[in-house]
Structure 1
Amino acid sequence: MLASRVAARSARVAAPRLSIAATRGYAEQSKPAAGQSANTKPPVQVFGLDGTYASALYTAAAKSNSLDTVSRALENMSNTFKKDTRLQSILTAPTLSIDDKKQIVAEIQKSINVQDKSNTVQNFLGTLAENNRLGVLEGVCEKFATLMGAARGEVEMTITSAAPLEQKVVRQLEQAVSKSQYVGQGKKLKVVPKVNPEIRGGLIVEIGDRTIDLSVSAKMARMNKLLQDTL
């Protein structure tokens, strides 16, 4: 697994502090030049430090006409994080030497398995390492997927359940929402199933800025509040 290879090659791993100037520097580097096509601008706004980096990466990839390549690379990275649960803890541990960061970037690049002729991903990973922000990489993968979905005209619907849902149930929900007002004309619904045992049962459906919380945990919280207010 990637985490094992990284750990074996790096005895001291962590995430030192990032200067705000360094973050802005990458974002400024990736902004379209005057007169350049506006389609290099991210289609939607994503928030947080990982969102800032994801937006800058989107712009850099758009400028180098490598959006699809970068998207595949980050999708592979995201799958690596899901399969290798130790990786994130290694990237966010207390101390990373310059050597450690170079080795980690090299190992991550090997795991991508995508030919990036523009070197956009390589340059981006180098920037994260230089700015001591390899720890945001997992979040960047998620936020970049959001940007690509918006660029492709997708509307994302997240379905959170306490246990994995049967595909039949997922398809029924997808069909119902596809015909609703929440999916505009010409848009494609993208369903993202998630599992969170803490909701105890039921579902939480998120689409756009709307959340429908039908979870058991939410019902219990409402019941507890009602009892407290009554007593």
Structure 2
Amino acid sequence: MFSVSAKRFQSAVKAPIQLFNLEGVYATSLYKAAVSLKQYDASYKSLEAIKSSLSKDNGKLIKFISNPTLTLVERTAFVKALGTSATAPVSNFLSILAENNRLNLLPTIINDFEKLNLAHNNIVNCKVYSVEALPSKILKRIEKAIQTSKKDIIKPNGKLVLENEIRPEILGGLILEVNDGEKIVDLSIASKVTKLNNVLNESI
């Protein structure tokens, strides 16, 4: 568990964004602990290493920690092995999850921590979904449009990371997704077809 003094410093740390689900609350708690103990960057790397470990062997470790019948001894042994080289904030946090039988939330907690990390570093992640890979010229135009948007999506000292992902099911057009669904602009043909079908059904 975190010490009393660490908790006092932790309460003074403000998270860059607010997450409301249970996993988000856990991720925020870890974020504050890592920042207050001045081990943020190292703790983020520890989490990324744990995420990589969990993704191996076709997700067998994820299935293991999702087992509700695991004893406290088994859970404790698992986190000790998983967090061998983790920072103190991450190691302590894993122990708390084990004690509370919440290890099944770990993958989602890490994903939520990654959202906090983007905000912490003023990074805006934008995924551009299209039927086929877009030429760099088009991606640059999209990047410029986002950067000059009146919505103030990117802070003055922020950074935009643009990713182009192939989604044949959208049929055509584009879908822009900012920070894992924080903002979505759906310009896909599939969306327009759905809207047309809805209008037709309402008219009948």
CA contact (8 A) 2:129 2:175 kept: yes
Q: How large is the Cα RMSD of the aligned pairs?
A: 3.3
TM-score, normalisation: structure 1? 0.69
1:138 aligns with 2:111: no
Following superposition, the deviation at residue 59 of structure 1 comes to 0.9
CA contact (8 A) 2:177 2:183 kept: yes
CA–CA separation in structure 2 for the residues paired with 1:191 and 1:173: 9
Q: Which of 91, 96, 120 lines up with 1:122 in the alignment? A: 91
Following superposition, the deviation at residue 129 of structure 1 comes to 0.9
CA–CA separation in structure 2 for the residues paired with 1:210 and 1:125: 31
Q: Which residue is equivalent to 1:62?
A: 35
CA–CA separation in structure 2 for the residues paired with 1:103 and 1:196: 41
Deviations 1:82-113 (A, max 9, x none): 55542333322342112321232134225xxx
CA–CA separation in structure 2 for the residues paired with 1:202 and 1:28: 53
Q: What count of residue pairs does the alignment treat as equivalent?
A: 198
CA contact (8 A) 1:51 1:143 kept: yes
1:191 aligns with 2:165: no
CA contact (8 A) 1:42 1:147 kept: yes
Pair 133,37 (structure 1): closer, same or farther in 2 beyond 3 Å: closer
CA–CA separation in structure 2 for the residues paired with 1:82 and 1:160: 24
Q: Which residue is equivalent to 2:175?
A: 204
Secondary structure of 1:180's aligned partner:
coil
Structure 2 unaligned runs (5+)?
Answer: none
Structure 1 unaligned runs (5+)?
Answer: 1-25
**How much identity, in percent, do the aligned residues show?**
30
Kindly provide the amino acid, as one letter, of the partner of residue 148 in structure 2: K
TM-score, normalisation: structure 2? 0.77
CA contact (8 A) 2:10 2:32 kept: no
Pair 93,38 (structure 1): closer, same or farther in 2 beyond 3 Å: closer
CA contact (8 A) 2:11 2:32 kept: no
Following superposition, the deviation at residue 221 of structure 1 comes to 2.1
